C-alpha cells in the first residue's frame, strides 16, 4: 500500500472516531505539518475549548507555536472526557510528531500510549506523579506547576483585601492536584492574617466537577452568605458560577489559570495564572529544535511558571500597597525564606 493511501486511510479513521466519540478536530495554520513538516496534536481536558481558563491557556500555546514556529496543529475535544484515550491514539497513529494531553486525567492513558508508540513524543500537562512508581518513558514529558506558590500570593491578596476577615476557596474535583491550590491559598491568607477564616468547598469527586457552573454558584452563594467577601476558585468552567454569584451580590472573586478579569470586570480582584501556554510553546519548540527530553519538568515562581495579575484592568480593585507587599512575599518564596505547603 502506498504511503499516500495509508495516510488517507488514517485520516478517514481519525475523523470517524471523532464522530463516534462526539469530539471535534481542526487542522489549523499552514495545514498538516505546517511550513516545517512538524505536526502537533492536542487533546483538551474536561470543559474543553472556551473555558476561559486551563484549556484556553493550552490553546494559546498551540496557536503561538503555529505562528512563531510554523508547525501544523490539530486539536480534539473529547465528547465527555471518557474517550480521551481514543483521541490520543488517533493523533499518535495519524502522523503527529508530538501529542499533548491537557490535564492530570490523561496521565495513565498517555503513559500507556507513549510505551506503545515509542517513535511519537508525548507531553502531559499536570502529569500525576505517584511516589514509588517509575518516571515517565523517554518519549514522554510531564509538565507540572507549583500552583501552591501562586495560590499563596492570591491568598495573601484575598486576606489583605477582605473587610470581614472571611475568605473562601472553591475547588473543582476533590483531588490532590486541587489540594495544592487550597493549601497555598490558606497558607497565604493565614500568613498575613492569622485570625482570618478560610471557607473550603469542592464541586464534586468526578471530572465533571470542573464543568458545573450551577454548583459553583451555589457554593459561592453559601460562602458569601456566611460572610466571605473574596472567593478564589480552582474549578475550571465551574468558576463561571462563582463569578455569577460575585456579580449578583457585589462581592469579589479571584480567577485561576488564565487572566479571568473579563469574566466579571466588576468583581475579579486578580487571577492566579499558570503559564500553561508558555509550557506548551516550550515543549513544542524542543521538538522543533530536536531538543526534546522525557521526564518531569516543574514551573514555579522562580521561572515565571505561576503569577498573579496586576495591570490596568484591576488597579481600581487591587491597591498598590497590597501589590507591593505580595511582591515582597513572592521574593521570599523564590529565595526560600518562605516555604509554601502543597498539601
Same domain, 46 and 133: yes
Q: How far apart are CA 224 and CA 153, in angstroms?
A: 21
CATH number of 19's domain: 3.40.50.2300
Q: Is residue 340 part of a domain?
A: no
Other CB atoms within 10 Å distance of the CB of residue 8: 11
Helix (H, G, I), strand (E, B) or coil at 105: helix
In a domain, 343, yes or no: no
Same domain, 317 and 200: yes
Domain check: are 317 and 254 in the same one? yes
Stated pTM of the model: 0.84
297 and 321 share one domain: no
Domain range for 330 is: 147-274+310-335
Q: Of 135, 105, 89, 147, whose CA–CA distance to 276 is shortest? A: 147
Residue 196 lies in a domain: yes
Q: Per-residue pLDDT tens, the chain, 343 aa: give them.
A: 444 444 334 443 434 333 333 345 544 434 556 678 899 999 998 778 888 788 999 999 999 999 999 999 999 987 655 688 999 999 999 999 999 999 999 999 999 999 999 999 999 999 998 777 788 999 999 999 999 999 999 999 999 999 999 999 999 999 999 999 999 999 999 999 999 999 999 999 998 999 999 999 999 999 999 999 999 999 999 999 999 999 999 999 999 999 999 999 999 999 999 999 999 999 999 999 999 999 999 999 998 899 999 999 999 999 999 999 999 999 999 999 999 999 9
- Domain assignment present for 341: no
Has residue 254 been placed in a domain? yes
> Do 193 and 269 belong to one domain?
yes
Count other Cβ atoms within 10 Å, centred on residue 119.
Answer: 7
> Are 242 and 212 in contact, with CB atoms under 8 Å apart?
no
CA geometry: angle at 169 spanning 163 and 175, to 5°? 165
Q: How many domains does the chain have?
A: 2
Amino acid at each position: 500500500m502506498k504511503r499516500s493511501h495509508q495516510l488517507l486511510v488514517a485520516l478517514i479513521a481519525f475523523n470517524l472516531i471523532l464522530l463516534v466519540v462526539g469530539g471535534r478536530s481542526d487542522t489549523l495554520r499552514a495545514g498538516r505539518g505546517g511550513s516545517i513538516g512538524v505536526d502537533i496534536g492536542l487533546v483538551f481536558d474536561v470543559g474543553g475549548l472556551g473555558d476561559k481558563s486551563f484549556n484556553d491557556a493550552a490553546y494559546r500555546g498551540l496557536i503561538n507555536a503555529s505562528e512563531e514556529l510554523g508547525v501544523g496543529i490539530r486539536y480534539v475535544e473529547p465528547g465527555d472526557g471518557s474517550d480521551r484515550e481514543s483521541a490520543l491514539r488517533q493523533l499518535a497513529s495519524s502522523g503527529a510528531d508530538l501529542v499533548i494531553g491537557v490535564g492530570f486525567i490523561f496521565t495513565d492513558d498517555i503513559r500507556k500510549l507513549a510505551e506503545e508508540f515509542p517513535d511519537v513524543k508525548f507531553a502531559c500537562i499536570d502529569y500525576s506523579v505517584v511516589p514509588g512508581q517509575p518516571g515517565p518513558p523517554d518519549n514522554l514529558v510531564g509538565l507540572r506547576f507549583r500552583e501552591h506558590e501562586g495560590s499563596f500570593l492570591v491568598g495573601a491578596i484575598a486576606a489583605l483585601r477582605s473587610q470581614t476577615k472571611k475568605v473562601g476557596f472553591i475547588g473543582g474535583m476533590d483531588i490532590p492536584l486541587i489540594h495544592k491550590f487550597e493549601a497555598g491559598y490558606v497558607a497565604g491568607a493565614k500568613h498575613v492574617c492569622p485570625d482570618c477564616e478560610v471557607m473550603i468547598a469542592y464541586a464534586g469527586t468526578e471530572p465533571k466537577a470542573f464543568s458545573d457552573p450551577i454548583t459553583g454558584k451555589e457554593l459561592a452563594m453559601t460562602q458569601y452568605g456566611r460572610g466571605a467577601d473574596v472567593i478564589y476558585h480552582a474549578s475550571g468552567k465551574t468558576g463561571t458560577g462563582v463569578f455569577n454569584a460575585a456579580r449578583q451580590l457585589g462581592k469579589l472573586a479571584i480567577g485561576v489559570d488564565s487572566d479571568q478579569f473579563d469574566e466579571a470586570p466588576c468583581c475579579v480582584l486578580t487571577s492566579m495564572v499558570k503559564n500553561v501556554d508558555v509550557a506548551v510553546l516550550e515543549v513544542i519548540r524542543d521538538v522543533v529544535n530536536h531538543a526534546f527530553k522525557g521526564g518531569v519538568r516543574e514551573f514555579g515562581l522562580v521561572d515565571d511558571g505561576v503569577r498573579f495579575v496586576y495591570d490596568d484592568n484591576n488597579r481600581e480593585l487591587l491597591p498598590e500597597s497590597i501589590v507591593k507587599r505580595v511582591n515582597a512575599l513572592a521574593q521570599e518564596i523564590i529565595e526560600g525564606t518562605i516555604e509554601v505547603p502543597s498539601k
